[in-house]
A and B are shown apart, each in its own frame.
Chain A
Amino acid sequence: MTRFFNGLLHFRRSAWEMLASVLIAAGVVMLMQPFALTLYSWSFVVTLLGTVMFIIVSHFPE
């Protein structure tokens, strides 16, 4: 966990890619879950944020 946070602080690709992936996955789950309309309403923002972040951080150094 410490390594992950260090990676975020030092702008390492793997840590930021992991964060972006988690956001995308969370966004997709929020989009398709049958439990709360609020989650559905915010799903696109979360997915979009994750996708844009993924595109940017894939250019960070390893």
Chain B
Amino acid sequence: MLKSSVDRIAEATPHAIARRMHGLSDRALAWLFVAPSIVLLLAVNIFPLIWTIRLSFTNFRVNRPNAEVDFVGLKNYASILSDRDIWLTMQATAHFLIWTIVLQVLIGFSLAYLINKKFRGNDLWTTIIVLPMMLSPAVVGNFWTFLYQPQIGLFNYAVGFLTGADPSSFSMIGDVKLAPWAIIIVDTWMWTPFVMLICLAGLRSIPGSIYEAAECDRASKWRQFWTITIPLVLPFLMLAVLFRGIENFKMFDLVVQLTGGGPGSITELTSINLKREAFEKWRTGYASAYAVILFVTVFGLASIYVKALNKVKQR
């Protein structure tokens, strides 16, 4: 009698394994396959989160592992939420977050709109525009410190050329008023291409027939833009804002490389301040509470944002 390949494989399975698998339901087998991923997720994501929440109620210091750890209740939270310096870093983060998102959305969408038009060298321009996004933040931070140099920096010369001001009369990263804008300019330069790419995907997904129908109805270009382009690109734009918002709330590397949080602590964003509390002052319990506050803020914002995004998609 001819045997099927399934039978042959079944017969080739070692007897011990076959006996162990015998009687397992499809559901149990499915759990068996999913279990490694769940265990990994628990170990890498959920466990550290629970451990951080636990540490946030203690006075644990990681540089003194043998010291007694006391439960301090909500003391860490109370002290963070009444600290004027941390309040200032929150304001610095809000300033950075709002302006980078506004600029990146405006410039990114405008660039995508231009690139979406058919013209010679379109692909070359797309590649050139996307280049900053591919660089490491450490590299970008490093070379922008040279560009911002008052004596030799190209940025100062460009501003001097355009406005007539003396290039060495101002320092972008050394001036208290200009430093917050210096980090906004660099982040916008680096991440606008990301927003542009997402908007470009949205623009290219709009069928040409909709514009043709609008032309037949004698709709002006301006009306087509507001009633076709914007509503259909909006879900993509919102997604870009969500990604950039979360990323910029956690911004660390670029700003550390560029200003180190200075001058003074004017560009010290929350993640930089958190790192100082955790790894320079070694207040692990306090820093854990700080991290939990930031986590709840980002999680809450992302929840309502995803809800709004789903509503826009359903329209």
User: Chain A: residues with CB nearer than 8 A to chain B?
Assistant: 17, 20-21, 24-25, 27-28, 31-34, 37, 40-44, 47-48, 50-51, 54-55
Contacts and interface: CB of A to CB of B under 8 A. Distances in A.
Interface string B69-101: 000000001000110100100110110000000
Given A32-B94, A37-B87, A44 B300 contact: no
A20 to B, nearest CB: 8
B84 A28 contact: no
Contacts of A25: 304
30 contacts: A20-B304, A21-B307, A24-B301, A24-B303, A27-B300, A28-B297, A28-B301, A31-B90, A32-B91, A33-B91, A34-B91, A37-B82, A37-B84, A37-B87, A40-B81, A40-B90, A41-B81, A41-B82, A42-B81, A44-B81, A44-B293, A44-B296, A44-B297, A47-B297, A48-B296, A48-B300, A50-B300, A54-B303, A54-B304, A55-B303
A59 B293 CA distance: 24
Contacts of B303: 24, 51, 54-55
A31 B297 contact: yes
User: How many interface residues does chain B have, given as a range?
Assistant: 10 to 19
A43 B303 CA distance: 17
Contact of A40 (B87, B296, B304, B307): B87
A24 B93 CA distance: 18
Nearest to A47: B300
Contacts of A47: 296-297, 300
A51 B300 contact: yes
Nearest to B289: A44
Contacts of B93: 32
Nearest to B81: A41
B299 interface: yes
A24 B300 contact: yes
B290 to A, nearest CB: 11
Nearest to A46: B300
A25 B245 CA distance: 14
A25 B300 CA distance: 8
Contacts of B293: 44
Nearest to B88: A34
Nearest to B295: A51
A44 B90 contact: no
B81 A28 contact: no
Contacts of B300: 24, 27-28, 47-48, 50-51, 54
A29 to B, nearest CB: 9
B307 A17 contact: yes
A20 B304 CA distance: 9
Nearest 6 Cβ contacts at the A-B interface = A32-B94, A24-B300, A51-B300, A21-B304, A41-B81, A34-B91
A43 B81 contact: yes
Interface in B285-315: 293, 296-297, 299-301, 303-304, 307
Given A32-B90, A32-B94, A51-B299, A44 B77 contact: yes
